[in-house]
Structure 1
């Protein structure tokens, strides 16, 4: 029975610390964007890990893709 005199105040202190930690986290925007980092990792390009030659090749491929999209394939030739 005397252990309750120790455990009840200890549990109240622990509860108070948990509530304080929760409000601190909310105040400091720890719960602001929960899904962003999970999605960001999927679209990581790792541009910094590429060599200069690989960067040039990637830029050329992007340019050719853009040019292919802009070229009208369904236009009839002029007479």
Structure 2
């Protein structure tokens, strides 16, 4: 019976702490967007399209970097 004098205030403290943490999370925007992060993993990243000029530059750099011993 004596343990209830300790356990009840500790339980009340834990509940109040959980409520405060919940309101802090809502206020800081933790629950703003629950949908997009879960769906983002399902789609591939869109790769930027390269132009012919950039392809020529890349291939010229690749040729310059290769050397024959």
Q: Which of the five TM-score ranges fits, normalised by the shorter chain?
A: 0.5 to 0.7
RMSD of aligned alpha carbons: 2.4
2:10 paired residue number: 10
CA drift at 1:44? 3.0
- TM score, norm. by length of structure 1: 0.56
CA drift at 1:36? 0.7
- TM score, norm. by length of structure 2: 0.63
Moved over 2 A (4+): none
Where structure 1 has 5 or more consecutive residues not aligned to the other structure, the ranges are 48-54, 61-79
Where structure 2 has 5 or more consecutive residues not aligned to the other structure, the ranges are 53-69
Per-residue Cα deviation, 1:22-69 (whole angstroms, up to 9, x for no partner): 00000001010001101111223174xxxxxxx65xx78xxxxxxxxx
Other structure's SS at 1:31 match:
coil
